[in-house]
Structure formats: structure tokens, C-alpha cells
Structure 1
């Protein structure tokens, strides 16, 4: 998942690179994880146990369940093994509301790689409905992001529209005493689901009818407003010395990625390289990082990681190389099956002029070890939407009420 010239998770990439931490987010003093997490090194299979029972409702909160109206059979495009599908959902909100928690409930965890909830403002609903109506079947294909941008950057999948996300091991996390994402009356929700069909070699087969449990409270309540920021870094992972083949060429690999997921994929790779490498040519290697400047004050409460199956480690550091440097997230052994949000022991203040550095290490040798990836041809790996591609992404949950 990730940021773009560009849209969506991919868009996240570019947006993250360019203006990611320019926007503040929200929360309250303490964070408490309402869910459990798996332990041990994951292999991308099974996605762990079912989510735990929800934490009790707090005063004024209510649950509402939304989801797919009927089973959906994902069909990857152009010979790929992944599909990103967006489903437009009307939660029928008649008053201002805060979304204080979400729990995605995958009906078919064997094919669901991750999911994101995007807020669709009332002014964007008609555009989203038109996109849905002119697409055959339920929802629409949406590699990168929802694809409902109004031309001013709103609705393209940037962090400002994220109101929830799920990946294996990521259960509902309640931030502070009472904090949530503000949602206007008339707002719709786009549920973007990444379906992974590596097991069927991209052929249609399994269906899914996932749902989401929303935790909500009136907009008149005393709630700290939340916002999600996205930190991303490029991927430049060459084939191992033991591997060979046409897709070990970077240019050929990017062309294959574009064929499988769309032209925005090239834009994302280019934007990440331009921002993170400061205009220099990318240097192939297992470890890559990116520095992102803070432009507005924020108070940070939690960080959640996202890499794919070749991920080995991820860290997020504040002001690296300075006397005040501190790790906000440090996972030297990344576990695909535990991508849970990590609440900080104490909220951390982010000031203009600060720098966030995200660093990820990937291991191409895992391709020959993991059952899901053994069937694939060796390839040079860059940032991409597919399960066989890679990401280096951290979601930062914060508030601008500093």
C-alpha cells in the first residue's frame, strides 16, 4: 500500500514523498490496542487468527457494519495475479460523526491482501457514483487509488482521505481517551480491497464478501480529530546473483509492472526516485530510505508498517543523525502476518523543520523460498501494487491539535 503523480496507495507514494508530512493528524494522550497480534516470522499465508472481540463501546459510541452487497469474484487484469477493487458504500450518515475505530473483517482471508477505507466527501459522491455506474459489475478497478480526484488533489487516495486500513494482524486500535476521524453528513466510503490470486496464477476462482465494523460517535462529542500521514521509500531490489531472466532488467520489470497494474505505476516509481534520491540515479540494493520534512506541527500517537512478502525489516526515525534522534518504529524482523498499528508509549511532538526517515530492507532470496513466489520468474523489484511487487510504507496517526 503506499502514495504518486499518482493516486492511492501508489499515489500515496508520491503524495507522501512530496507533501506527506505537511499535514498534521490527530489523537489523544494515550493509545491502547484493542486487538491482538501474531508473533513469529510470517510467510504471507493464512493471515493469522480471526480478529478478537471488539473492545466495549464507550459512552455515546455505536457500531455499524458495512460491506460488499454480494460475493465478488476478483479477476486480475492483463495476465496479472492481483486486483485492486473499489466498492462505494453509503453509511447513510445524516449528521456529523466521528469514526473512532474500524475493524475490517475479511470473509476470504486467503485472497485478501489488504484493505483501505477512503472518505468520499459529499461534493465527490456524484463523481464516485458515475465511476461506479459506468463500470461493469460491482465496484471498479482501482490500482493506485480510488480514482475520483476532483482535479485539486481531493479524492485521489492521499492520506487526507484515509479513515481506516487493514493488513494481516492489524486489528482495531483505539487511540487515547476518545479520538476519531471526522465525517460529514452525506459522506460515502470507498472500500478498496487488494485481492491476491497468486495461488490460482491469476485465474478467477475464489469469491469474497468482506465487511467492516465501524465504531462511531456523534460529531458533537468531545473527540480529538485524527488524520493519517503516509511515509514511503523507493524499492530498488535487483535479482540475486543466482537468478537471471529478462525481467531482471529494471526497465523491462517496470514495463511489466505497468502492464499488470497501469501507467500510474511508472509515475510512482519516478516520483519516489526523484524525491528520495534528490535527482540522482537510483542505486540498486536491498536497503532504501527516504527523508520526509515536517511542515506543520503534529502530535504523533501510532505507527503501522506495510511491506510485502520480500520485506525483512522496517524502521521509522525522527531527526536521524541528530542528538535528539529517536526511533518511532523499529522492526528488525518484519512479520507480514503482524502489520498491527504500534501505539507509542507517549505521544511525540512533530515540529516544522523535523525530519521523518523511513528505512526498509527487502530480500530477493525469499522469492525462491516462499511457496507463493516460487512460481514467478525472477525480476527486478520496484514499488508496486502487486503482492509480488514491494512497498516500503508507514502509516502515522497524529493530530494537529498540538
Structure 2
């Protein structure tokens, strides 16, 4: 039994009898006045006949540092809740909102839905590993008509160096045929997951038999293969070019990774922090004070370099029309749920100054 059940809104949402229902987003305040750690969460669909899938994201306050895509839990065909290992939990900062992303499919009669999420809290004193969800994604593909084996390749762009990979959840739509994920290491490449027959109606999160240390990995790459030919019995129209989109007849090339990150980092365990290394250097050469090495000007310069790299990478990846502004409509689906974190003036666009302010808070800690 959950410690708390949170409804997506006060009143049920009405689903029409026919037609396409665009993704619906409902933002709810769970009333968390202090930081919470959640060790289990499960979506409780209100009406399974029309709820195709539901994802619940964490939207932290704008001034709170937060990593990953903000994933809390999801309900998708074929997927079950995966219990976390002892000592593992997701962090929810005080003042966070929950965002329900709801995908409805019509069934011929008007329906209503009031889905919920149930959560079980962890004792903060017993949490040793923070669980976050990372994403690998490619949105720039075009699948030609009649293509039987069209490959789309992507990679995960950031990993916590002290973390461990726990689980892999690929996501495509009805043209998805197979999926493979590999890890690049200094001594070569290793296959982590191979799904030779992907099934949109039975989507799994694959828990690794042994967690994989990310410190040994230089890159995480994936290949999503699509069948847009007449041989695919689920293909709605093999004569069409297919691009990225939310709806089932469009496509996605995404992988979600469950990663644990220790609360006590390796440099804390070994004492090998930047300050510790510089103090050892000073011990070898007392003529160079630590204060000079870590001068405020140098520190600020390093932070600004990190800020500009973060912002440049952000716009290079996501600003598809290269106008220096990321519109909410351009953003990946997972990012739209917490777009307010980047869009401080709520004009449905994030510009460079807004991203720089976020990055400075992130790196100046």
C-alpha cells in the first residue's frame, strides 16, 4: 500500500469518443514542504480503456539543482514497476511539482479519466544512492517509405562518473523492429542490451543482472532499427516518410537509463578533491599558497568556461532552427514537462541569458 496517492487533477479529464487526443499535461502540487526520498512509485490508471501511457515527472523549483530528465515513474504497455535495491531512492526537492504526461486513445465512446500516482517514501537516513533517469535520444531522423531495416543511431550525452547503470528501457512506436545498446570502454565495445524483436505493445525496462560502473565507460551508444515496409503488419502506411512525433503513427528513437549515483562521492571517500590535490601540491612546494592557486578570479574564469560550454552544447543539440532561442515546441517531449525550469519569464521560449543564469547556479556551488 502506498504512503500517499496523488491525483493528476481535482476533476476527471474528459476524453472524446473519436479523433486524436494530443498529449495532455497536468501539473499538481503534492505539498512537499521538505525534501522527500521516494523508493517506489506507480501510476494508477483511472481508466485503462483510454490511458495508452502515462509518465509522471518531477519539476523542481527553478532555484534547485536537479539532474536527469526528472522521471518519477510511468505506466506503459507491458512494463511493470521495478523495485529499487536497498538504500536507493529518488530525490524530490522541497516545493517540487509533479507533471503527469497523459497519452489517451479514443475507443468510440466518451470517457473520463482521473489517474493517480502512488508513492512509498524512504527514510533519508538510510538512502545511500540517488536514482536518476538519463536519456539517449535522436529526433532528426527520416525513415524512407518501404525501408525494411532503417537504422537510427544515438548516444547518451552525460553520465555521473561515480554512477552505476541499473536498467535500460528502449522506446519506439509501431515501426520499431529491434534495438541495441553498447558501451564503449578503453579496451573496446561491449553490448549491454540486444532486443531483436521489439514489441510496441509489450515495452520492457530491462534490469541488468549486475549494475555496470559508469567510471569504466567512455560512451553509451544505441541503434534503433525500424521497419517501414509492407512486411511489418503493424505499419499504418508503408508509403509515407516517417519523422519524430508523439503519436503512434509517428516514431521515436529514445532510450531511458536508470542510474544510481552514490551520495558520498569517490573524491570524498579518497580525499582526492581539487582542494586536496592542491594542498598536496603545496606541501611539495610551500612557495605556492593554495589561496593563489584557487584565486577567486581563476575560479570565476573556470565557472564561466563551464557555463558557456553548457549553453553552447544545449543549443547545438536542441535549437533545431539555430535562431539562438529554444521554443517549447522544439524541445524533446521529456524536456517540455519541465520547460519552466528554463523559461523564467514564461514566454514559451528559453534564450541564452536564461540558460546562462541556470548554468551559473549549477556550476557556482
TM above 0.5, one fold?
Answer: yes
Give the Å deviation of 1:240: 1.9
Match of 2:13 in 1: 72
Give the Å deviation of 1:93: 2.1
Deviations 1:85-142 (A, max 9, x none): 1112222223321111221122333332322211122448xxxxxxxxxxxxxxxxxx
Match of 2:215 in 1: 351
CA contact (8 A) 2:57 2:99 kept: yes
Looking at structure 1, the residues matched to 171 and 198 of structure 2 have their Cα atoms a distance apart, in angstroms, of 9
Give the Å deviation of 1:399: 2.4
Looking at structure 2, the residues matched to 380 and 390 of structure 1 have their Cα atoms a distance apart, in angstroms, of 11
Name the SS for the 1:114 alignment partner: strand
By relative contact order (CA 8 Å, sep 6+), the higher-ranking structure is 1
User: RMSD over aligned Cα, in angstroms?
Assistant: 3.2
Alignment map for 1:2-401 (pairs within 5 Å): 63-68=3-8, 69-74=10-15, 81-123=20-62, 159-197=68-106, 205-234=110-139, 235-240=141-146, 286-294=150-158, 296-297=160-161, 298-319=163-184, 323-351=187-215, 354-365=218-229, 369-370=233-234, 374=236, 378-401=239-262
TM-score of the pair, normalised by structure 2? 0.62
Deviations 1:141-165 (A, max 9, x none): xxxxxxxxx9xxx89xx83422223
Looking at structure 2, the residues matched to 185 and 100 of structure 1 have their Cα atoms a distance apart, in angstroms, of 16
* Structure 2 unmatched runs, 5+: 267-365
Looking at structure 2, the residues matched to 331 and 354 of structure 1 have their Cα atoms a distance apart, in angstroms, of 22
Name the SS for the 2:229 alignment partner: helix
Name the SS for the 2:111 alignment partner: coil
Looking at structure 2, the residues matched to 330 and 107 of structure 1 have their Cα atoms a distance apart, in angstroms, of 34
Give the Å deviation of 1:323: 4.7
Deviations 1:243-293 (A, max 9, x none): xxxxxxxxxxxxxxxxxxxxxxxxxxxxxxxxxxxxxxxxx9622112345
Give the Å deviation of 1:178: 2.6
TM-score of the pair, normalised by structure 1? 0.57
Name the SS for the 1:351 alignment partner: helix
* Structure 1 unmatched runs, 5+: 1-53, 55-61, 125-149, 242-283
Name the SS for the 2:83 alignment partner: strand
Looking at structure 2, the residues matched to 318 and 305 of structure 1 have their Cα atoms a distance apart, in angstroms, of 15
Larger Rg: 2
Give the Å deviation of 1:83: 1.5
Name the SS for the 1:381 alignment partner: coil
Looking at structure 2, the residues matched to 399 and 193 of structure 1 have their Cα atoms a distance apart, in angstroms, of 27
Kindly tell me: are residues 65 and 348 of structure 1, through their superposed partners in 2, closer, same or farther at Cα, counting changes over 3 Å?
A: same
Give the Å deviation of 1:333: 0.7
Match of 1:21 in 2: none
Name the SS for the 2:251 alignment partner: coil
Match of 2:295 in 1: none
